[in-house]
Structure 1
């Protein structure tokens, strides 16, 4: 069985070509495997490709200028994997199929990998533009639990970020807390949302507070 696989991928030819051909094959194969797994996650789990949705302000920035959107997506997971795939397989083709020398194959692999990366970046940018037209209600996040994405300073002294699902979409929002500092990856609860889409959060270990207004409005015993 193992010998059949080696014969199928022409492993003997790859090893006879040189170490660089083996490296190209390893990079291309590994990147392709990760790329396919990432696409499957996007399709069946609903994850946005490892490139989690940003807030509406970030989406607006991406739609206002080509440079901003491209810069953000250029170094996303999918873009880097696209570069590795293009680099690996084109380098291998240069060495085995076209029988080019190692230097020329390297330059061709770098050029094709870069094209793949930029192509993936632009594709993701336009996908985000399309998604940016979808309406979501940030208020639906109130009462939900999320996860701290970037540490939130204590006593409203600064801003961090929280990852939470709103209107069925997993997004990252600016967050603040009135309590103790909330470290990254800790579980939190959304207590309120400001007009600027800043989410106020508290640790899930804290019991939800009841407002004094409700106590005052309660009828006397």
Structure 2
């Protein structure tokens, strides 16, 4: 059996040709993007707008990205081809294919949004130490007499941080303490734990 691309192409209606014209290149780009993602490459040039959802690390829910557009056109075109092969009307085909494409964009945007939430910059936020319990590592004098050090677990890591105290008594090595506040940018205000 002989296959002729030109005969196959000419046997289709204009709308089928349009859907196939989107399906072939968008699928190839989607496959390349997927391969590059798994081997560590990056094919994304995220220009355009993003809808910011409130987050701690500043990355928002990005809807209009190259990856999302490729996903849209891939699903849009293949859904359209399937609908036309099933003899759906043009109006119903457009509604279904556009809806499927938009749904895919939302799914892709959500996946990348939640993946970005999983990353950790490694930068410690001293505010996360407030309320934590630790132990004096270097003595801390009463009424902010000196800056000592404490061992405390913050953000899953045991750290030695500078600390001062407003307590009336000195806090010797080994005293169990609680962090009550942050002074300046990186000095813990501590008190003897009760």
- Give the alignment of 1:14-33 within 5 angstroms: 15-33=10-28
Residues 81-96 of structure 1: pairs in structure 2 closer than 5 A: 81-96=70-85
Given that 2:36 and 2:42 are in contact with CA atoms closer than 8 Å, whether structure 1 keeps it comes out as: yes
- Equivalent residue, structure 2, for 1:169: none
State whether residues 19 and 77 of structure 2, in contact with CA within 8 Å, keep that contact through their aligned partners in structure 1: yes
Structure 1 position 135 matched with structure 2 position 126: no
CA-CA distance at 1:45 after TM superposition: 4.0
Structure 2 gaps of 5+ residues are: 125-184, 186-194
The alpha-carbon distance between structure 1 residues 61 and 108, as it changes in their structure 2 partners (threshold 3 A), is: closer
What RMSD in Å do the two structures reach over aligned CA positions? 3.5
Q: Are 1:63 and 2:49 counterparts?
A: no
| TM-aligned CA distance change 1:50 to 1:130, over 3 Å | farther
Q: Deviations over 1:75-124 (max 9, x none)?
A: 1111111110111000111101x111212111111111100111111011
Distance 1:62 1:115, change over 3 A: same
Q: 1:136 to 1:22 in 2, by over 3 A?
A: farther
Residue 76 of structure 1 corresponds to 65
Q: Unpaired runs of 5+ in structure 1?
A: 53-59, 138-194, 196-221
Contact 1:41/1:49, CA 8 A, preserved across alignment: no
Distance in 1 (alpha carbons) for counterparts of 2:43 and 2:21: 26
**Which residue is equivalent to 1:36?**
31
Cα distance in 1, alignment partners of residues 123 and 18 from structure 2: 45
